[in-house]
Amino acid sequence: MDIQLDPARDDLPLMANTSHILVKHYVLDLDVDFESQVIEGTIVLFLEDGNRFKKQNSSIEEACQSESNKACKFGMPEPCHIPVTNARTLSSEMEYNDFAICSKGEKDTSDKDGNHDNQEHASGISSSKYCCDTGNHGSEDFLLVLDCCDLSVLKVEEVDVAAVPGLEKFTRSPELTVVSEEFRNQIVHELVTLPANRWREQLDYYACCSQAPGCGELLFDTDTWSLQIRKTGAQTATDFPHAIRIWYKTKPEGRSVTWTSDQSGRPCVYTVGSPINNRALFPCQEPPVAMSTWQATVRAAASFVVLMSGENSAKPTQLWEGCSSWYYYVTMPMPASTFTIAVGCWTEMKMETWSSNDLATERPFSPSEANFRHVGVCSHMEYPCRFQNASATTQEIIPHRVFAPVCLTGACQETLLRLIPPCLSAAHSVLGTHPFSRLDVLIVPANFPSLGMARPSKDKTGHTSDSGASVIKHGLNPEKIFMQVHYLKGYFLLWFLAKRLGDETYFSFLRKFVHTFHGQLILSQDFLQMLLENIPEEKRLELSVENIHQDWLESSGIPKPLQRERRAGAECGLARQVRAEVTKWIRVNRRPRKRKRREKEEVFEKLLPDQLVLLLEHLLEQKTLSPRTLQSLQRTYHLQDQDAEVRHRWCELIVKHKFTKAYKSVERFLQEDQD
């Protein structure tokens, strides 16, 4: 299955066989080590085979009818008292070189015991070097394929969920009295299909299951873009274990996260919107149909803060001196590419004084106290949805935290902290209910490289195989991360539609669209079709899904409607002012070094940052600019102190005209504003 791609031109493969089996929930248990620049630990996958996830979810209310039943009362997660070896211990005991591979029938001589399952080590992990069978698998065994890249996988095993106390009530079939694969898979099926109002109980059971002992190692193999797992004798997805644990570690060069320094020079690591998304952070299913929930426990040195895209505002728990643990979870099924993590020496910024209005509006909201009556009809898969709760729909300002390096405390206090509440309130007034219960804002270093992720969608994928595998067109083009044309065109398309339809009509539609499609994966065609169906005929003005796609999404370059707007905008006052300044600079550049005494000094106008960008772009078109002109430019506009967009153009001028006196500015830009 090894696919060798030319990253300069080929597409990014999505290898996961999502048509056969889906991951419904991930449980991650990870350690972050800044010395080795490695994240290591385990991930437990809870799976649902195709025959089941295509059917309507079964109800298990009969299994837990009484609220007084102690086995059904769950609060915050408690230790399950199931012994399990720590991931850090495992990695120190196991010898590996990315993957320990020996051919079929070959004995592993690295340990006397060879390769064996965990039945004699039910509470721990064998210290033997793992050996996986890479021989001809034939067509007998089912193969679970996960998207994976730049990871060292140490071991894969089946999880004995039947060993967790209380879970036996999930098996209602009287014939399932003996612990078997079918018995364990039935438990997982009933667990992943628990009703939304039992989300906390479900998370508790997931946590307990993730600590359960292994009940047999699984064979695995890898190629460039995938991890392939099988169990001997499991011929279908239904027979395959539905709870598996993967022991793995990331590589320092892995492309899903960036190890760097923050604005104060302290080490940090975070997900960066990589073209390969999170497959170098954990094995996962990338195709958009693979909507899942997750929970994660992350350990790091006590001086670090761990932030994740979870629904809870996690606080550190001290495990031992110098080490803290952070726990996050998500109950809304989302693609694996939306999982984010950031670890660094950041400080939570808080307002010195809060207005009474802010305190009254920002009230923490918990689904556990929610009345889940339907305020509206939702079309997404079942989860604890805020759109179904009257209290959540009126919450204008959701709880939020702001984290930044200490050196930015003043700027955050003066500007950012006061700006977020009105922004949240404005978003609520325009779009309606906030889909998430809280928000964390992190001020990342200036070298954050991307405006967004190369998230797979049906629009971008090519031919999809029967297994669900496909590709993201041009996903590995190295120039793509620098050319954010698709985002810019999307912005200008929305701007164009708002201007054409009028703010009242457009924003009314956006609110309706968010309410209709929240919690679902949608295509651009869905958005455009609903837009055209919900605006009066007289405002359509020959708009159609087909011509919008043709002009904005399928054609290269600047769309024709935007070109017309650009020509009209060229006549605006700000643009005319820039053109006048360009003329002055060209005149200055043409003057001889020794000027006549009667010549007047040019007087330059103060320009906005966007005007400066336009000015420098015009000057880049000049064949030559003298060092004297460039020095005057720098002095007039303090270019070294402008934002990254302005300094980017300034660096281009420096390089183009070999202005050696300003090479330090280029060095600074590359160090602070690029990877």
The pLDDT of residue 148? 94
Contact call for residues 51 and 64 (beta carbons, < 8 A): no
The pLDDT of residue 524? 84
Residue 163 CA to its chain's centroid (Å): 33
The pLDDT of residue 145? 96
Residue 516 CA to its chain's centroid (Å): 23
Please state, rounded to an integer, the average pLDDT across all residues of the chain. Answer: 79
Confidence grade of residue 102 (pLDDT, cut at 50, 70, 90): very low
Instruction: Report pLDDT digits (tens) over 605-628.
Output: 899 888 998 899 999 999 999 999
Q: CA-CA distance, 131 to 431, in Å (whole number)?
A: 53
621 phi/psi in degrees, rounded to 5? -80, -15
When pLDDT is averaged across residues 508-515 and rounded to a whole number, the result is 93
Which carries the bigger pLDDT value, residue 377 or residue 41? Answer: 41
Instruction: Report pLDDT digits (tens) over 357-386.
Output: 443 344 444 444 343 333 457 899 999 999
Q: What is the CA radius of gyration of the chain?
A: 29
Host H or E run for residue 326:
strand 323-334
The pLDDT of residue 361? 44
Confidence grade of residue 93 (pLDDT, cut at 50, 70, 90): very low
The pLDDT of residue 619? 93
Q: For residue 335, give both structure tokens.
A: 């693609």
Instruction: Report pLDDT digits (tens) over 559-580.
Output: 777 777 766 666 677 888 898 9
Confidence grade of residue 68 (pLDDT, cut at 50, 70, 90): very low
Instruction: Please tell me the number of Cα atoms within 13 Å of 149 on its side-chain side.
Output: 25
Which carries the bigger pLDDT value, residue 82 or residue 507? Answer: 507
| Angle, CA 597 vertex, CA 595 and CA 602 arms, to 5° | 70
User: Would you list the DSSP string of 87-144?
Assistant: HHHHHHH---SS--EE-TTPPPTTSTT-S--SGGGTTS---SPP-EE-S--TTTS-EE
Instruction: Report pLDDT digits (tens) over 263-306.
Output: 999 999 999 877 788 999 999 999 888 999 999 999 999 999 99
Residue 468 CA to its chain's centroid (Å): 21
CA dihedral 146, 147, 151, 153 (to 10 degrees): 10
The pLDDT of residue 122? 29
The pLDDT of residue 6? 54
Q: What Cα–Cα distance (Å) separates residue 634 from each residue in 216, 220, 613, 620, 673?
A: 67, 59, 13, 14, 19
Q: Does the pLDDT of residue 322 top 90, yes or no?
A: yes
Confidence grade of residue 193 (pLDDT, cut at 50, 70, 90): very high
Instruction: Report pLDDT digits (tens) over 627-652.
Output: 999 999 999 999 988 988 899 999 99
Alpha helices in 503-594 (DSSP H): 503-517, 524-533, 537-540, 545-548, 560-569, 573-590
Confidence grade of residue 537 (pLDDT, cut at 50, 70, 90): confident
Instruction: Report pLDDT digits (tens) over 429-473.
Output: 999 999 999 999 999 887 776 544 445 554 455 566 777 777 766
The pLDDT of residue 73? 32
Which stretch of 28-32, 254-258, 349-353 has the lowest confidence by average pLDDT? 349-353
pTM for this prediction: 0.73
Q: For residue 620, give both structure tokens.
A: 């880049």
Pick left, alpha or beta for residue 624 (phi over 0 → left; psi -120 to 50 → alpha; otherwise beta): beta
When pLDDT is averaged across residues 155-168 and rounded to a whole number, the result is 92
> How would you list the strands of the sheet with 439-442, edge to edge?
347-349, 400-404, 439-442
| Cβ atoms within 10 Å, residue 448 | 16
When pLDDT is averaged across residues 479-497 and rounded to a whole number, the result is 68
Q: Burial of 549 by CB count in 10 Å (0-12 exposed, 13-18 middle, 19+ buried)?
A: middle
Q: CA-CA distance, 194 to 190, in Å (whole number)?
A: 6
CA dihedral 251, 252, 256, 258 (to 10 degrees): 160
User: Which residues touch 324 (CB under 8 Å, ≥6 apart)?
Assistant: 299, 300, 301, 302, 304, 316, 317, 318
Q: CA-CA distance, 328 to 309, in Å (whole number)?
A: 8
The pLDDT of residue 72? 32
Q: Does the pLDDT of residue 482 top 50, yes or no?
A: no
Q: CA-CA distance, 475 to 276, in Å (whole number)?
A: 8
The pLDDT of residue 86? 45
